[in-house]
Amino acid sequence: MNVLSGKELEFYIEKGLVKNAHEDAPFEDIKVPLRYGGITEKRTKTIEGNSTYERTKESTATIRPGETKLFLTKEDVTTREIGKEYPIRIFGRIYPPNSFVRGAQDVGTGPIDTNWQGGEPLRIAISNNKKESRVTEPRDGKKTGNNTGKKDAGIEIQEGDIIAYVIFEYVSVTTTLDEQTLEDGRNLSEPRFREKDVQSAARRDREILLERIEELEEKYAELLNKIE
């Protein structure tokens, strides 16, 4: 597997791989930040066993100790359309920010498959792994104090905060493009799958397909002759 980075990653983001990406910093080397879009989602099950989703607009969302919330991202990812237009299959892996790893937050990570249609924000599950605790007040300069009865305020996520990163990996479905790039001596740091490369690859694939069809037609004619 190969990881999209640099100009290649920038190229596919511009082509629609990630919509609503951060204007100033759409990616960091190989990572694309996913920001909280200001909407959380709660899933409940009906008596019939079906799932329903209720969305709530929250510019500041709080995750209580032991609680898990679904956060909708500002970004919208689609891998299906890229696969239709270019000889490449892309899938993504979601990772938590380093600050979450060091803290009590836990991000439900998972893959974005090569046929992901997109068209809506991603759902990121974030858990607060802290145990519910009570806040105590200092007494006589000591660290221990009286229990105030107040609960831990929890973890706050602000709209626009980075809540996860996605790293895109890919496989090429037309190896001849890499060979052509080397033969032509083009800059390998540039995106290797330009529109003209795709058209050229499509023509070659069509020629191979037509040759194969002719072979099958000849074999079919031979079989008919034997039957007759």
What's the domain range around 23? 2-193
Residue 209 has which token pair?
């397909």
Q: Average pLDDT, stretch 139-147?
A: 51
Which pLDDT band holds residue 92 (cuts at 50, 70, 90)? very high
Q: Report if residue 122 sits inside a domain.
A: yes
Helix, strand, or coil (residue 87):
coil
In a domain, 165, yes or no: yes
> In this structure, are residues 128 and 155 in contact, taking their beta carbons and an 8 Å threshold?
yes
In a domain, 202, yes or no: no
Mean pLDDT rounded to a whole number for the chain: 77
pLDDT band, residue 211 (cuts 50/70/90): confident
- Quick check: 173 pLDDT over 60? yes
Structural domain includes residue 222: no
DSSP 46: -
Burial 113-132 (b: 16+ CB within 10 A, else e): ebebebeebbebbbbbebee
CATH number at residue 35: 2.70.40.10
Across the range 43-56, mean pLDDT stands at: 82
Residue 170 belongs to a domain: yes
The number of domains in the chain is 1
Instruction: Specify the pTM.
Output: 0.66
pLDDT-based confidence at 140, cuts 50/70/90? Answer: low
Percent of the chain at pLDDT > 70 equals 64
Residue 155: pLDDT band with limits 50, 70, 90: confident
**Is 35 part of a structural domain of the chain?**
yes
DSSP state of 138: E
CB 163 within 8 A of CB 71: yes
Is residue 224 in some structural domain? no
Please, which residues have CB within 8 angstroms of residue 53's CB and are 6 or more apart in sequence? 41, 42, 43
Highest mean pLDDT among 82-86, 187-191, 211-215, 217-221: 82-86
